[in-house]
Structure 1
Amino acid sequence: MSKRGYLLIADITGYTRFLTGSELDHAQGILESLFEVILARLKSPLILSNIQGDAFLAFANDETVQSPGQILDSIEALYFGFRDRVAMMRENTACTCRACRNIGGLDLKFIVHHGDYVINDIAGRHELTGPDVILIHRLLKNDVPERTGIKAYALITAAAAAALALDELKDETKPYAIELSEFGTISATVLDLGARWENHRERNEIVVSENEPLYFKPVSRVIPFGIDIVWEYLTDPAQRQRWQEGVHSISRARGDPHRLRTGAVEHCAHGKESIVINYVDVRPLKHMTGEVLMPLGGKMRFSLLTTAESKGTRVTARFAQPQSPSPFVAFLLRQLVGFRARKEPQFWSKCFADMEALIRESQAESYTAPEMSPAELKSTARNLAAA
């Protein structure tokens, strides 16, 4: 079955050095934990093809990708999860064995390409063949760290960058080119994932808590689709206009229209009223927190959260009470919006139901693979670490 789409390899760097310089019994437990993170986060729209030692090959057919932002969201979520787990193990161990001391030498790099490939289903695996598959494997051997100084990166070929068409790939990357026999000069761009994780870790998480004064009781719904699809419908302005009742237009005044990130600013038109939203914390596939600007310098903070569950994705809306540096202004704003508070749960319940209906309408049959159960995931990670 010939397809066109994205090809991705996630490769653990420092793997061989870690194994050869560590006690195997401790090293196996550490690797099992890291493999489990990778397998858990390598999900739709990406489909795992195969695992070769410390390298995970995945693909995403064009027809299953709702938006190019999904690919970069998936890469960031996978990398941040990996680095978070490494940091957690380093901080929570008092063991002085070589394996535990060497955890910090493990990292992750990605090769991303867009092209053609043939899918062969062999013994339950989705094996890929074709020149573009050979190319992405050849790109694993590169001199990116030596030439750019970037150790943890996503090497994105020109073909993939053109397909993604994201502004951040023009503004926040370094150009790179490599000569490969039989392929000639391959132009690419390098994204510094290590720097992004450092920024992600240093930035305090901002999310509306259930324990703070809320504008109305949180609204939650389980939508029977993957978290990547639900996240896309939550963050894409064009999709939100379809399910958020009363919204006539949404324009992203600051930020890439194809991918929601911290710092984005949106203008939402509700009839004659225009609302400005500043996004203060966006964690792909986890939550987005924004602040709605209100009269007299006030603001209302909200969070839309997504959580993967066995039956789909739980999406939750939490809105805090209006805030202002002036207690009097805060009181006025709360009185102003208070009369609508009883209607908001019904409004958001309908919005989430409408969003689910739209997703159902749009999801044509596509080439997907069933996700591993938690038990299967843990067993696969254990077997990989023991191999």
Structure 2
Amino acid sequence: MEAQPRKGYILLADISGYTAFMANSELAHAPLVLGHIIQFLTKELTPTLQLAEVEGDALFLYATEEAITRGELLMELVESTYINFRINKRTMSHNITCPCRACQEVSRLDLKFVIHYGEFVLQKIAGKVKPIGSSVNLAHRLLKNTVSEATGWNGYVLFSNICIDKMGISPENIYHGSESYKHFGSINITAVNFDEKYLEYTSNSRDYIAENESDVNVEYTFTAPPPIIWDWLCDPDKRNRWYAGNKANWVIKDRPGGRTGTESQNHCTNSNFIEHVLDWRPFHYYTVCNKRGWINAKITGELDEVNGGTHFQWRLRLLGKLPRQLLRLISKFIAHKVLEMNASLGNLELLSKENFMKYKDQERDTHEVEHRNLAQV
């Protein structure tokens, strides 16, 4: 039985500067630093993506197109991973007291991603199921590129243009170029500077409703991890499926940055509310303001990982000149009677869990099929 070709995303996460780091560091502590970073990256990138292999100082991951239906999720995943990597590295550097060169040079390490979309087959090799094929080979070739020489960037994501077209995003402040490889010819690429994204993330002021500032706080614990729940919360098509009573029909209105982010807008054609994105921190929290007439409802949705799942808090504060006590009563009516948030989040759990478990079952079945195929050879 032949393995079935699949289409999907191939991602490589590479620790930049690690070769020089190893050359100038003591062997005793350098592997410990690498192990910590690899473990961190694995936790950040899975289970949204499947880990195929750890390749020295790089991770090789993949996802079928059925698993990533919203291209923005992939961008948010690598961007969030990079930002958390920088925060984690800063904490490591601050807490390290060991005087050895390995520990003192941690701050020089950086992170780059390469993402390509194409066809591959899954095969079990040396006990591991991983994609193989021309697209996988090209993704690995793209690790050797000229982005740093052309731009001076050390931390970035490089997309093949085939991939970014499939994702359907047009991010701002990007570098367009091409790379040439034997057997592949010229490959058009698009790169995004993640150092700039990190600086924006850490310098921007937060727009956030704390629990003690909200009129209503609805909590729910989901089975799936934060990136999966985030996707169900933020994808307009998915949102329409879990709101109780089929009351929502959200559509994309405006994406001034080429993707969802601050200043983006959505429109609910059923209720005629316009949703303005005020703050956008993927997998952590979002803050939006839903406006129609005199109603101005500010909402923060916050996600925290709990035992592999997600604890979610949905907080609403109604803005206006009416007395706060009256605004609080109206807020509770909106949350519990109009939006039926408890029932809606219950629907979200059923849908996200079913989808997440179905995907995990498909991956398990694929691994079993590849194991049987290998045994027949």
1:23-38 aligned within 5 A: 23-38=26-41
Amino acid at match of 1:368: E
Equivalent residue for 1:289?
A: 287
After superposition, give the CA deviation of every residue in 1:131-156 in whole Å (9 maximum; x if it has no partner): 11111111111221111222211111
After superposition, give the CA deviation of every residue in 1:27-68 in whole Å (9 maximum; x if it has no partner): 344333322210111113311100111011001111111211
Q: TM-score, normalised by structure 1?
A: 0.83
Judging changes above 3 Å, is the alpha-carbon distance between structure 1 residues 339 and 105 closer, same or farther for their aligned structure 2 residues?
A: closer
Counterpart CA distance in 2 for 1:280 and 1:25 is 47
Equivalent residue for 1:178?
A: 179
The total of aligned residue pairs comes to: 357
CA contact (8 A) 1:236 1:258 kept: no
Equivalent residue of 1:64, what SS?
Answer: coil
1:109 CA drift (Å): 0.7
Equivalent residue for 2:315?
A: 318
Counterpart CA distance in 2 for 1:227 and 1:258 is 23
Judging changes above 3 Å, is the alpha-carbon distance between structure 1 residues 133 and 311 closer, same or farther for their aligned structure 2 residues?
A: closer
Equivalent residue of 1:108, what SS?
Answer: strand
Q: Tell whether 2:131 aligns with 1:138.
A: no
Q: Tell whether 2:376 aligns with 1:357.
A: no
Equivalent residue for 1:229?
A: 228
1:345 CA drift (Å): 4.6
Counterpart CA distance in 2 for 1:31 and 1:257 is 35
Equivalent residue for 2:123?
A: 120
1:11 CA drift (Å): 0.4
CA contact (8 A) 2:223 2:353 kept: no
CA contact (8 A) 2:303 2:311 kept: yes
Counterpart CA distance in 2 for 1:127 and 1:196 is 31
Counterpart CA distance in 2 for 1:197 and 1:157 is 22
Q: Tell whether 2:25 aligns with 1:22.
A: yes
Equivalent residue for 1:385?
A: none
Equivalent residue of 2:344, what SS?
Answer: helix
Counterpart CA distance in 2 for 1:256 and 1:66 is 22
Q: Tell whether 2:369 aligns with 1:368.
A: no
Counterpart CA distance in 1 for 2:230 and 2:181 is 38
Give the gaps of 5 or more residues in structure 2.
Answer: 366-377
1:351 CA drift (Å): 0.8
Aligned CA RMSD, in angstroms, stands at 2.8
Judging changes above 3 Å, is the alpha-carbon distance between structure 1 residues 78 and 213 closer, same or farther for their aligned structure 2 residues?
A: closer
Equivalent residue for 1:302?
A: 299
Q: TM-score, normalised by structure 2?
A: 0.85
Judging changes above 3 Å, is the alpha-carbon distance between structure 1 residues 128 and 9 closer, same or farther for their aligned structure 2 residues?
A: same
CA contact (8 A) 1:113 1:136 kept: yes
Equivalent residue for 1:249?
A: 249
Equivalent residue of 2:363, what SS?
Answer: coil
Identity %: 25
Counterpart CA distance in 2 for 1:205 and 1:313 is 22
Amino acid at match of 2:306: E
Counterpart CA distance in 2 for 1:26 and 1:291 is 49
Equivalent residue of 1:306, what SS?
Answer: strand
